[in-house]
Structure formats: C-alpha cells, structure tokens
Amino acid sequence: MVKKRIVVKIGSSSLTNENGEIDQVKFVDHVNALAELQSVGHEVLLVSSGAVAAGFKRLGYCTRPITLKGRQAAAAVGQSLLVQSYIDKFSEFGIVPAQILLTRDDFSNRDRYKNAYATMSELLERRVLPIINENDTISVRELTFGDNDMLSALVSGLMKANQLIILTDVNGLYDSNPNENPDAQKIDLLNKITDDMLSFADESGSSVGTGGMKSKLLAAKTALSVGVPVFIGKGFGKDKLTDMINGHGDGTYIINEQQNSITINQQWIAMHSEASGKIYVDEGAEEAILYNSKNLLPAGIFKVQGNFEKGDVVEVFGLNGLIGKGEVTYSAKELQKAIGKRSEEQTNRVRTTQVEVIHRAKWVTI
C-alpha cells in the first residue's frame, strides 16, 4: 500500500443534529473510519466543522444563532465540546488528536503560514491527528475563509495532501439539488469544474451547514489548482474512508489528470500574498515567461509602479492586462535604476549580465 497524506473535511450536518447537539451515531462512525485510515498507514488531517452547531443549545439558543456574536459565542462553547469528544473517542484507538484553530490572517502572513506547515508536519511525523477548524470566535466577518470547505482545500494545498475528502450529508454532486428535485442525476466523476456546474450547485444546504454544494465545488476547484484530487460524498462504517481512497466511495470524484503541483511558496504567492507594486512587461518578456518558462529579466520591463522592497510580491502586467504574480529580487528603486541602465547600454551598444527580477520558482501565472 502506498502511504498517502489525506485531508478529511466533515461538515456540521454530518456531525450534529438540528437541536444543537453532537449526533453520537454519526460522530462515532466518523472517528472509527478516521482511526482505520490512520491505522492502515496513511497520514490523516481532519478539518472538522460543527462548533457553532454543537454549541448553540448549551448557550441557550433554540436554533443556530443569526447574529455574528451569537455564532461566535456558540463556536466558543461548541469547539471545546467537539474536541473533548474527539479526544475521548480517539483515545480508544490510542490516537492523540491536536486542536488547530486558524484564521485567514494566518495564511496571508508568510511567517505564520510557514509555521502552520511546520507544526502540522511535526504532528504528523509523531502520528498525532490534527483537528483543524476556523478560529470562529475571533474571526472578523470580512476576513474569513468563507467556509470550512475552502479551509480544507487550502490546508490540503499547504500540506501537499494526496487527497481531499469532503464528507457531507449527500452522496456527491447532482445536476440539481437532490433535496429539491427527485429526478436529479448523480455525477460520479469530473475532471474539471466549469461555471455550468457551479450554477447547478446551489448555496442552500442543511440547516446547520454553510454554503451548500456550491462552496464544495469552489473548494474543489482551489484544491485541483494546487494539484490535490477531491472526493465529495458520504458513507457509513469503519471502511468508508479507505473505500473512498481506493476508488469505491459513494460520491463524486474530481480528478484532473494533468494536475500541476505547485510549491508551497508559489501557493502563498498565488492565493495569499498581497501585491506591493506593479511591473509592466513588453511582448517579448510576456512570451518568454508565459510560453518558454523563462525568468523575468530587467530587459523586458518598461514600467514600474509602487514602492516595493526586495522579497515583496508584485503583479505583472502584459499587453492585455494581468498575467501573473511573483516575488522580486529588486526593490522598486533598484529596478527603476536597472531599467535606466538598460537604455544607456542600448544606446552605447554594451551588454552586462542581467540578474532576474523574478525567478521561475517564485512566479505564478494567473
């Protein structure tokens, strides 16, 4: 058996009931399956939703709170209940879980991003099972992952997972919401996610879930873009996750045969960095970077905007708009100088070696 690194995401609807409690039957079934997956040798990371859904009743609400502070307070109560339940149940298998709460900021900040990677890698090396959730209690509305489907896709990319499994209350993607249309047809295999598919996956979901099938497809699109195949579905019994890994799951497999794996550095540049400036390149440079896998040299740059430093990320524009992002080896000032020097060289017909402005390894095409 090939050892794989697997991220499993479990939605609120698959962990809790509508009254605001952990559903013991569903919960125990998931833990049994996760323990089995780890016991056969795979590395397992769990992204578990359910904090709000498991906490609102104890907080004194009859239904999932609609105010932000209500949900954040419910998450504070529910997260500890959930993790305590995981600790108790996993201990029967000798598995030690670890709680990791992340915010969107942790991904935008490069040091925290790398730190999250280092910590989770260390946990996996020690056979500890990381249980990840968004840090709902302190997350600011404008700065969230949107939902845990997206969080699980980003974690899969960061940890270079071999597979993302999104467990939910429906056995995969249908061509319309099966809870509303009894004639909806199930889709077993996809190799890309088109706008058409996004349009028939609506945002309505269970009363405790967030984002419906649409957020799962958007997350799957992100996971595919960083080279991680996805399974969306459900199952029962201790073998359900191993079955899913072995291609016998009840759900939809989303696999891109030409999956291009991108480094963690490139993922950070593409998805989490904020650009500090803009660089405009000519036709020759655009062709060299986009089609000939070349580094970007000062020779192809005709305009620089912003006040960036060496090591910052900038946006690069070609003739028809944005073509990519990359980490620069020059500050804006140095680059302005290099461009000036180049014109001088052209006039005087002398040439010096050019140090690349953006190296391939620190470039992402957009």
- Smallest CA-to-CA distance from 137 within 102, 167, 166 is with 102
Which of residues 168 and 267 has its CB atom nearest to ligand ADP in the complex?
168
Tell me the H-state helices in the chain: 24-39, 51-59, 68-91, 104-108, 110-125, 148-158, 195-200, 212-225, 240-245, 264-267, 283-291, 332-348
- Asked whether position 228 contacts ligand VHF by CB under 6 A, the answer is no
When binding is defined by CB under 6 A, the residue of 23, 36, 43, 136 that contacts ligand VHF is 136
Flag whether 212 is marked binding: yes
168 is in an annotated binding site: yes
Q: Which C-beta is closer to ligand VHF: that of 54 or that of 270? A: 54
DSSP state of 300: G
Stretch 7-26 residues interacting with ligand ADP (CB under 6 A): 11-14
How long, in residues, is the chain? Answer: 366
Contacts of 86 (CB under 8 A, 6+ apart): 31, 48, 97, 131
Q: According to CB under 6 A, which one of 20, 78, 157, 205 is a site residue for ligand ADP?
A: 205
Nearest Cα to Cα of residue 227 among 252, 264, 202: 264
Q: Closest separation between CB of residue 238 and ligand VHF, Å?
A: 23
**How does strand 43-48 pair with strand 129-134?**
parallel
Q: Compute the least distance from the CB of residue 275 to ligand ADP, in Å.
A: 32
- How near is the Cβ of 91 to ligand VHF at its closest, in Å? 22
Q: Where do we find the tokens 């906490």?
A: 55
Cα-based distances in Å from 29 to 18, 35, 52, 239, 273: 18, 10, 21, 10, 39
From the list 199, 224, 227, the residue with the least C-alpha distance to 213 is 199
* 303 marked ligand binding residue: no
Of positions 23, 134, 312, 327, contacts ligand VHF by CB under 6 A:
134
Name which of 38 and 152 has its Cβ closer to ligand VHF: 152
- Rounded to whole angstroms, the Cα distance separating 215 from 236 reads 23
134 binds, among ligand VHF, ligand ADP, none (CB under 5 to 8 A by kind): ligand VHF
The residue count for binding ligand VHF (CB under 6 A) is 16
Q: Is 174 in the site for ligand ADP (CB under 6 A)?
A: yes
Cβ density class 6-28: b for 16+ within 10 Å, e for less: bbbbbbbbbbbbeebbbbeebbe
Binding at 178: pick from ligand ADP, ligand VHF, none (beta carbon under 5-8 Å per type) = ligand ADP
Residue 215 labeled ligand binder? yes
C-beta of 53 vs 301, nearer to ligand ADP: 53
**Nearer Cβ to ligand ADP (11/55):** 11
Q: Does 223 bind ligand VHF (CB under 6 A)?
A: no
| Residue 1 among known ligand-binding residues | no
Query: Residues 206 to 245: which contact ligand ADP by CB under 6 A?
Result: 206, 209-213
Contact assessment for residue 53 and residue 18, using Cβ atoms and an 8 Å cutoff = no
Q: Which residues bind ligand ADP (CB under 6 A)?
A: 11-14, 168-170, 173-174, 176-179, 200-202, 204-206, 209-213
Binding residues for ATP: 9, 168-169, 210-216
